[in-house]
Amino acid sequence: MKTTILLIVGLALGNTYAAFGQSTAVTSDSVALSKQKDLIDVWHWVTHSRASNRDEGNFHNAPFPAVGYTQATGFAAVLSDNLAFYTGDPQKSKVSDISTSVTYSQYNQIILPVLVNIWTKNDKYNIIADWRYMKYPSTTFGLGGHTDYSDGYTIDFSYIKLHTSILRKITPDFYAGLGFYYDYFWNIREVNPPPGTETSFEKYGLSPTESSAGPAFRLLYDNRINPINPFQGFYANIVIHPTFSMLGGNTNWMMYQIDLRKYFRLQKDGRNILALWSFNWLTSGGKAPYLLLPSTGWDDYFNTGRGYIQGRFRGNDMIYLEGEDRITLSRNGLFGMVLFVNAESFTKNLASRYNNVAPGFGTGIRIKLNKHSGANICVDYGIGLQGSQGFSVNLGEVF
């Protein structure tokens, strides 16, 4: 999840809840992640305190306070937490995790997400939830891929997102299931629109509230051992989400997402990983609410389009590609770096074609927050077109 951290001022104050025996985060690695060092170990080293049994058990918790700055938020204070655990035999089970944070920014933004990815015993079911509240003044630039940065102005809104899915194992690593997605925006207003012109939002249909509600049909293939910090494997997630006015949506329309990821070990010990990502986000069958149209940085984890401010491009359809080289720098796994390149393309309306490509590239550092889950603090600097550039920060890998 893209947060607003840039300058870390707190170390992880981790707690470990012992249960059910010894665990390792990635059993196929030549050096298990649990044998590495993370910020919790650094904290205990600095304070000369002891981490009681923190390498034992099935539950590993890592709270994390910080402050920072990004283009979208200004300065912000953040308190994050990442809980990694197993629901079965750690040698045979996928790692489950729950991540949450509280953010308050310079621009009076409030962000409260709860992100859940739980694998039940024997990985029979996968429970996925994305629940969040946002009070979020932010920038919009209009529709399509040919907008100028100077077109940007502020829109303010409050947002409740409740997305929950339950998937069942069909064959090893292949799952299918159902969910329900509900999105509600209120107090929507343009703060400083360009004077004397009708904005794209106004042309599209500006209203004080927008909503979407309907079932979600999901297909998932995931043979990654550790989805939090993959060393190898393939991930494919297909979501078909019809929304209906009779269930609480403004209009009837369809949303499709096709999320494909592939990971290659460039070194046998997993210290150099090539990660590839294809993310296609499409709409059809009606008029989607403006704030739910595909947009840069508005995927579920706010991660697309490093090098551009969130909301820089918006349209009915989005095609996105990214590649990243992940390199472990320190022998103990505490520090690493990445090099990345991406490209995105948008259509302004259902009749237009993809006739623009917006590339981005950059680099970043990695600091191990929770060695049991493999969760890193990720600080990246990206560069895009028209002088666009800036930082983005995640608790966990971008993809």
63-103 residue pLDDT tens: 778 777 777 888 889 888 878 888 877 777 788 889 888 99
Per-residue pLDDT for 6 more than 90?
Answer: no
Into how many domains does the chain fold?
Answer: 1
- Outline where DSSP puts E strands in the chain: 2-3, 15-17, 59-70, 74-85, 96-105, 110-119, 125-135, 138-140, 153-171, 174-190, 210-222, 233-243, 253-265, 272-284, 317-328, 335-347, 358-370, 375-383, 389-395
348: which 2 tokens?
């302004």
Per-residue pLDDT for 397 more than 70?
Answer: yes
The pLDDT of residue 34: 57
Is the Cβ–Cβ distance between 377 and 396 less than 8 Å?
Answer: no
The pLDDT of residue 37: 81
**Model confidence at 269, in pLDDT bands (50, 70, 90)?**
confident
DSSP string for 205-273: H--S-EEEEEEEEEEEEE--S-SSS-SSEEEEEEEEEEE-GGGT-SS-EEEEEEEEEEEEESSTTSSEE
The pLDDT of residue 203: 92
Tens of pLDDT, residue by residue over 47-66, are 777 655 555 556 667 677 87
Q: What is the mean pLDDT of residues 132-160?
A: 92
**Model confidence at 46, in pLDDT bands (50, 70, 90)?**
confident
Per-residue pLDDT for 111 more than 60?
Answer: yes
Per-residue pLDDT for 15 more than 70?
Answer: no
**Summary mean pLDDT of the chain:** 85
The pLDDT of residue 51: 57
The pLDDT of residue 21: 28
The pLDDT of residue 85: 84
The pLDDT of residue 58: 65
Tens of pLDDT, residue by residue over 293-323, are 999 999 988 899 999 999 999 999 999 999 9
Residue 76 vs residue 343, higher pLDDT: 343
Phi, psi of 255 (to 5 degrees): -125, 140
Please state, for a pLDDT cut of 70, what percent of the chain lies above it: 85
The pLDDT of residue 14: 36
**Least confident stretch, 44-48, 125-129, 293-297:** 44-48
CATH of the domain at 215: 2.40.160.50
Q: DSSP 3-state assignment of 333?
A: coil
**CA angle centred on 123, ends 394 and 371, rounded to 5°:** 35
The pLDDT of residue 38: 76
Q: What is the mean pLDDT of residues 230-257?
A: 95
Tokens 């409050």 sit on residue: 158
Domain with 22, as residue range(s), is 2-395
Per-residue pLDDT for 3 more than 60?
Answer: no
Per-residue pLDDT for 24 more than 60?
Answer: no
Tens of pLDDT, residue by residue over 157-190, are 999 999 999 999 999 899 999 999 999 999 999 9
Residue 148 vs residue 214, higher pLDDT: 214
The pLDDT of residue 32: 52
The pLDDT of residue 5: 40
Is the Cβ–Cβ distance between 101 and 3 less than 8 Å?
Answer: yes
